[in-house]
Amino acid sequence: MRASVVDALLSTAKPWRAKFDVGKPLPFLSKHVISAEQFDRDSIQYVMRYADLIDGGLKLSHGHSLLSGKVQANVFLEPSTRTATSFAVSMMRSGGSVFHISAETSSVQKGETLEDTIRTLESYADVIVLRHPTLGAADVAASVATGNVPIINAGDGGGEHPTQALLDLYSIHSRFGGLESKRLHMTLLGDLKYGRTVHSLAQMLSHFPNIELSLVSPPNLGMPKEYLQILQNRNVKFSVQTNLEGVLSDTDILYQTRVQKERFTDANEYAQSKGKFVVTPSTMAMMKKESILMHPFPRVDEILESVDSDARAWYFKQPAMGIRARMALLGLVLGKEPPKRL
Ligand code: NCD
């Protein structure tokens, strides 16, 4: 994959980013999941309801067999602990199997292009989960896919991470009794420029008028204009800040993020940007009793370990929500709706 290929693709229409129309039967079947842009309120709620069933009426928390015989390619060309294993476990708990490809041990080492890798894996797998260091890589992969093997973007450089956003929403849904049950003030904190999780999350949150956003970051790591534009177009109530204290006492959900060291081209800029917002017990003391603190992880130093014992620390609960959300999504793209109307 060449940089020019990515640039050309990003500036043109992207038919592989189909919307999920839940008014139609099997709305996710064989569709790629590349961007949060593909989701609206109804399709997000559809995933939430499916995820609820996994732990609810269907008693599927110890696994089910809806995806028996299905094979998943986990193509992780950039480091991952949670996302790679979460996708693998989600497929295994759904009755399917998984094989793994890494940059270090695959033909990527010999110079093979992403396009050739994808065209090959289409013959082996029923679904391809891709993580790649380059923004736009998931679009490149989806644009060359020829069959009906869905490609799921598990993070493309500083671009997007739509399934992390789904699991974050599912965590909120579980904690607050639904996404629309009450007014919620969510504060996205840290590296909003390079953080792909917040790029996808902000877009998905924009479909819920009861959710107000505060975007807090160092001035050089603000949310990119294109995402602010989406919030504006959808009349989201949001503010852009460089100071956390002012919004803390009204915040229901504080979403902390890591400063994305690997995306900086200037090591000095990284050194100056990190450590600006560290969540400590005193930060927690300023937050509401019923609020929660989320983080997609990994954390480096932006939440002190002394915060972990606070009942509002939600980051070790998010991974379990990820299994439910991803089991739901895999079931949907592979056309296995649960035996109950959603
Ligand atoms: C994030 C990622 O890879 O974008 N982690 C994750 O998938 N849970 C966040 C990060 O790396 O900071």
What's the average model confidence in pLDDT over 167-176?
Answer: 98
Find residue 255's DSSP bridge partners. Answer: 188, 294
Q: Is 137 exposed, middle or buried (0-12, 13-18, 19+ CB in 10 A)?
A: buried
pLDDT for residue 58 = 46
Of how many residues is the chain composed?
342
Examine the pLDDT at 7 and tell me if it is beyond 80.
no
In degrees, rounded to 5, the angle at the alpha carbon of residue 162 between the alpha carbons of residues 293 and 202 is 55
Q: Is 105 exposed, middle or buried (0-12, 13-18, 19+ CB in 10 A)?
A: exposed
**Own/partner pairs for 176-182, CB < 8 Å, 24+ apart?**
176/252, 178/48, 179/44, 179/45, 179/48, 179/208, 179/211, 180/208, 180/210, 182/210
Q: Tell me how far apart the 2 most distant CA atoms of the chain are, in Å.
A: 55
Could you tell me the distance, in angstroms and rounded to a whole number, from the CA of residue 230 to the centre of ligand 1?
Answer: 22
Q: Is 83 a catalytic residue?
A: yes
Examine the pLDDT at 57 and tell me if it is beyond 60.
no
Ligand 1 binding residues, C-beta < 6 A: 82-83, 155, 161, 164, 196-197, 258, 260, 296-298
Which pLDDT band, with edges at 50, 70 and 90, does 339 fall under? low
pLDDT in tens, 280-319: 999 999 999 999 999 999 999 999 999 999 999 999 999 9
What's the average model confidence in pLDDT over 127-137?
Answer: 97
Could you tell me the distance, in angstroms and rounded to a whole number, from the CA of residue 296 to the centre of ligand 1?
Answer: 6
* 326 in Cβ contact with 85 (< 8 Å): no
Examine the pLDDT at 163 and tell me if it is beyond 70.
yes
Examine the pLDDT at 120 and tell me if it is beyond 80.
yes
What's the average model confidence in pLDDT over 228-240?
Answer: 98
Which pLDDT band, with edges at 50, 70 and 90, does 4 fall under? low
Tell me how far apart the alpha carbons of residues 35 and 19 are, in angstroms, rounded to a whole number: 10
Range in 70-74, 169-173, 232-236, 337-341 with the lowest mean pLDDT: 337-341
Examine the pLDDT at 338 and tell me if it is beyond 80.
no
- The overall average pLDDT reported for the chain is 94
Which pLDDT band, with edges at 50, 70 and 90, does 147 fall under? confident
Q: Is 258 a catalytic residue?
A: no
Structure token digits, residue 250: 């009204």
Which pLDDT band, with edges at 50, 70 and 90, does 55 fall under? low
What's the average model confidence in pLDDT over 47-54?
Answer: 91
Tell me how far apart the alpha carbons of residues 74 and 98 are, in angstroms, rounded to a whole number: 7
Examine the pLDDT at 5 and tell me if it is beyond 70.
no
Which pLDDT band, with edges at 50, 70 and 90, does 166 fall under? very high
Q: Is 161 a catalytic residue?
A: yes
Could you tell me the distance, in angstroms and rounded to a whole number, from the CA of residue 25 to the centre of ligand 1?
Answer: 33
